Structure 1
């Protein structure tokens, strides 16, 4: 049976009229909107202050996140935390989540190897992302990588062409009517896992920090400064 045949979408699992992230988080473990719930250890919902000024959206949980049930706690998450600190963004002002809430992987030699979610998984999980945003009121939305960009901005958006450039949110969204967020802006950048895979990690890391420096500038109302990376 293919992914398309087993995917029904999360619409029927997102609680109608949920008023808080706590309501959504409590309902998320019951989601069977696509086949990814079967091999995954657990659903990995977002975390952070519901009143956070920054919402960061990544791709999906990794192996460590799947086991712990929290987003961005593995190697990529630790690198993101360091980049956030170097860019000068207070970590308590950030809400972290993923476009897809279950870990997609293939087992090989006793290891669970990451597989990028297909479009069908992104679409199936989109109702959770929409429901999260319905309870959030960020000043800045940060899109981390291509999968998150496809989920929020549509398949035509290219992070490599538009990274570090403030865009109006939710007007830049693929279906802005689904995101009842007040005046805010969006900044796209690479996923921290891309830094870990880069041939020159130092250059890739500095680019990530520079993009996050734009976020810091927006929060401070200072435009888009270039931060100094701490060594």
Structure 2
């Protein structure tokens, strides 16, 4: 067994791999220190062989409380954008690069905090295992944390978003996180750019 919070997620992965087995094992993960303050592990959800995998950053406050990914305001915006982009939500597996809520306390409020590089790397085995099982055609990489995990530390979403890239047997399309749309000074403009990126991902699926 891994020493508490030091050795990453790999020792916690089950020998027999299925999404159900991964989800059960991830509930006990102590591969980094984030588990100490989070309410629970928030694992990915969706069809076992989804055509699209959407990878966000970390669970938010509501996701941490409810135990499901993308159920807060950013998730509602994502659902709207997927529909407008012509991506069937029933063909989508959603997950996060980091499975525990990363936050700092401000009074009684829990404010999202970007995970450290070490925390992203520690959680990467869970994401790699999800990808290996789902085998999506298209991976939508949402935000810098997801890009760090999947595309490397040199990748910059702001400069390289919206460009289909090979990632294993799949096509990856990077974009901003939907929460960034909600925080944007011009939300309409940010949403339009986010929607454009999802439409590129939809087109990549059709051409694959």
State if a TM-score over 0.5 links the two structures. yes
Aligned-CA RMSD value? 1.3
1:30-70 deviation line (CA, Å, top 9, x unaligned): 10111110110000000000111000101000000000000
Deviation at 1:16, TM superposition (A): 2.1
1:192-230 deviation line (CA, Å, top 9, x unaligned): 0110110000000000000000111122229xxxxxxxx
Are 1:130 and 2:128 an aligned pair? yes
Deviation at 1:93, TM superposition (A): 0.6
Which residue pairs with 1:185 in the alignment? 171
Identify unmatched segments of 5+ residues in structure 2: none
Q: How far apart, in 1, do the equivalents of 2:129 and 2:87 lie?
A: 25
Q: How far apart, in 1, do the equivalents of 2:206 and 2:138 lie?
A: 11
Which residue pairs with 1:178 in the alignment? none
Which residue pairs with 2:82 in the alignment? 84
Q: How far apart, in 2, do the equivalents of 1:43 and 1:201 lie?
A: 30
Q: How far apart, in 1, do the equivalents of 2:6 and 2:106 lie?
A: 24
- Match for 1:144 among 142, 145, 165? 142
Identify unmatched segments of 5+ residues in structure 1: 171-182, 223-231
Q: How far apart, in 1, do the equivalents of 2:172 and 2:66 lie?
A: 29
Which residue pairs with 2:206 in the alignment? 220
Q: How far apart, in 2, do the equivalents of 1:35 and 1:219 lie?
A: 37
Map 1:1-231; keep pairs closer than 5 Å. 6-18=5-17, 20-170=18-168, 183-221=169-207
Query: Equivalent residue of 2:185, what SS?
Result: coil
* TM-score when normalising by structure 1: 0.86
* TM-score when normalising by structure 2: 0.95
Count residues in correspondence.
Answer: 205
Q: How far apart, in 2, do the equivalents of 1:9 and 1:192 lie?
A: 27
Report the structure number with the largest CA radius of gyration.
1
Q: How far apart, in 2, do the equivalents of 1:28 and 1:135 lie?
A: 15
Query: Equivalent residue of 1:203, what SS?
Result: helix
